[in-house]
Structure 1
Amino acid sequence: MDREELAHFLRRCRARLDPADVGMEAGSRRRTPGLRREEVAQLTGMSVDYYTRLEQGRGSRPSRQMLTALARALRLSEDERDHLFHLTGEEPPRDSDASTHVRPGLMMILDRLYDTPAQVVSDWGEVLAQNAMAAALTGESEVGRNIVLRFFTEPTARALFPPESHEEHARAHVAQLRSVLAARPRDPGPAHLVAHLRAVSEEFAALWEEHEVAVRRSSVKRFLHPVVGLLDLDCEVLLSPDRGQFLIVHSARPGTETHERLQLLRVVGLQDLTPDR
């Protein structure tokens, strides 16, 4: 691990970003350009002390998960992400894992969708990035979770949708996974997920045997939020075919009751999700 080069690279990448580039308010006057260390730490989920040590060339080797979080937080290109991994003595993600890296341009779009829930999700359900509104809507503040796994194994995730829509969601998840597994049979992520769900969920196993195939498309979704109540949201799905990623945006039509409730969620939900400083 080249601590000196890693420290210089992190400082350079932090200095070139403005708060608006990552969906943050600028706040009080800044004496130096770029993000503050505490802001990078917040975006990655690491402690300020640990990130500071990395920039000072004193930190221990970051895990692969932490390197991925840094690459996203600092809006690195694929080449820059690979360089980050090399500086720590790690091999960059293989081609089969490339779909987990969200392009900086897509992250910039996500950052600007501050008033409506939005997520970047892999085609097999991995949440790769999301804004604070999406976390407030789903109750899951961390990226890296799989929405299909949560739906079939976590009652709280299923309770987010009205009971009458459970079968529709279950079938849609299974049909999407069928499509992905056929397209990329050697990709270990979807294959392991399917094997795991067939073993732990009788519902999933039964639906899998029906061999339905479909891809995720735009629709209207009903959410039953525990705080703001029922939400009828337009779900727009933008596909990045070469990456196997979806940008999913949930919105409400102005003037509707759902729009008012979404605005309430922005106030109430984001207050609950604001980390202590």
Structure 2
Amino acid sequence: MASHRSDFAVLLRAWRDRLSPADAGFTMTDGRRAPGLRREELAQLAGLSVDYVLRLEQGRAKNPSAQVVGALSRALQLTRAERDRLYRSAGLLPPQDGTVSTHVPPGVQRLVARLGDVPIGVFTADWSLVWWNTTWSALHGDPAVLPTAERNLARALFGNGAAHASMLPVRSERGQDAFAESIVADLKDAVSRYPGDAQLDRLVRELREISDAFAHHWATRTAAAQHTTDRKTIRHPEIGDILLDCDVLIVPGADLRMVTYTAATGSSGAGKLDLLRVTGGRTATALP
């Protein structure tokens, strides 16, 4: 086990030094001593404390959880093979085939980071949010303030926890019922493709128990359209109502959804997005 911890610490430091700050969405400055990420930046991306990352790199923190290793893998933009190596170095089994993948390919992460003018969030097949850029946080609030399990759109819509409590008021042009039906339809599709995923099964069972609306949509036999595109009015606590086009882009081969919000040049929505980018929307705390 001591060897595992040593290998984990070495890999963590090496891969942090390798990752360009620009590829992770940070601004390059002349004062940087090394080309890689700072420890504080890795902690921010992974949603961990700087002290905990330091203890991991020094081999003093024992037995990081699969959740922590997964967050670090995404933050470090590891390939699948590298991700699996990091899991094994922590004494854990890598994620198995047949379950909903939370792996975000490095190219997708670089794209999200570099398209900083557009709010982008990356979701898994069960609508868990696993990656986002700073403009997304400015629009919806920083997802890092929520427990990892609560960063889920279905929980935001139908749950009774932190995700639901922090969700900003959103009006869908398609109608809220149609939007809700489409999310449930996506979950049904995910269950059919990942029947052995215990976490997905728990999510569905939990929402069926606590939400009459979810249970109703789940029991409906009529096929609903999957969530792909919409126009939404988001009520931001600082900026007010923002009308934006919402598009869902499928990432081939990764079973991920990239959700983007844009507005036509010169529109009120574009002006408010510009304002959000300047102010950072720091007082908002919400999930879309």
TM-score, normalised to structure 1, is 0.89
1:217–1:236 Cα contact (<8 Å) kept: yes
Residue 233 of structure 1: aligned partner: 244
- Match status 1:148 vs 2:142: no
Residue 187 of structure 1: aligned partner: 197
Identity of aligned residues (%): 38
Q: What is the deviation of 1:163?
A: 8.2
Residue 250 of structure 1: aligned partner: 261
Distance in structure 2 (CA, Å) of the matches to 1:40 and 1:66 = 12
> Of 95, 99, 104, which residue of structure 1 is paired with 2:101?
99
Letter in 2 for 1:180: A
Q: What is the deviation of 1:237?
A: 1.8
Residue 46 of structure 2: aligned partner: 44
Distance in structure 2 (CA, Å) of the matches to 1:182 and 1:163 = 27
Distance in structure 2 (CA, Å) of the matches to 1:10 and 1:186 = 31
- Deviations 1:24-77 (Å, cap 9, x if unpaired)? 012342222211112112211222222122222333221111111110111111
Determine which structure has greater relative contact order: mean sequence separation of CA pairs < 8 Å that are 6+ residues apart, divided by chain length.
2
Distance in structure 2 (CA, Å) of the matches to 1:105 and 1:163 = 30
Q: Point out where structure 2 has 5 or more consecutive residues left out of the alignment.
A: none
- Deviations 1:95-154 (Å, cap 9, x if unpaired)? 133521111111111111212210110122111111122223223522551101111125
Distance in structure 2 (CA, Å) of the matches to 1:62 and 1:140 = 24
Residue 31 of structure 1: aligned partner: 33
2:122–2:129 Cα contact (<8 Å) kept: yes
Residue 127 of structure 1: aligned partner: 129
Residue 200 of structure 1: aligned partner: 210
Secondary structure of the residue aligned to 2:261 is: strand
Distance in structure 2 (CA, Å) of the matches to 1:197 and 1:99 = 21
1:178–1:213 Cα contact (<8 Å) kept: no
2:247–2:259 Cα contact (<8 Å) kept: yes
Secondary structure of the residue aligned to 1:96 is: coil
Root mean square deviation, CA, Å: 2.2
1:179–1:215 Cα contact (<8 Å) kept: no
Letter in 2 for 1:243: A
May I ask how many residue pairs the two structures share in their alignment?
Answer: 273
> Of 147, 167, 172, which residue of structure 1 is paired with 2:177?
167
Q: What is the deviation of 1:78?
A: 0.8
2:99–2:194 Cα contact (<8 Å) kept: no
Q: Structure 1 residues 91, 115: CA separation in 2 closer, same or farther (over 3 Å shift)?
A: same
Letter in 2 for 1:269: G
1:4–1:57 Cα contact (<8 Å) kept: yes
Distance in structure 1 (CA, Å) of the matches to 2:178 and 2:230 = 12
Q: Point out where structure 1 has 5 or more consecutive residues left out of the alignment.
A: none
Distance in structure 1 (CA, Å) of the matches to 2:192 and 2:100 = 18
Q: What is the deviation of 1:221?
A: 2.3
- Match status 1:209 vs 2:219: yes
Distance in structure 1 (CA, Å) of the matches to 2:73 and 2:235 = 34
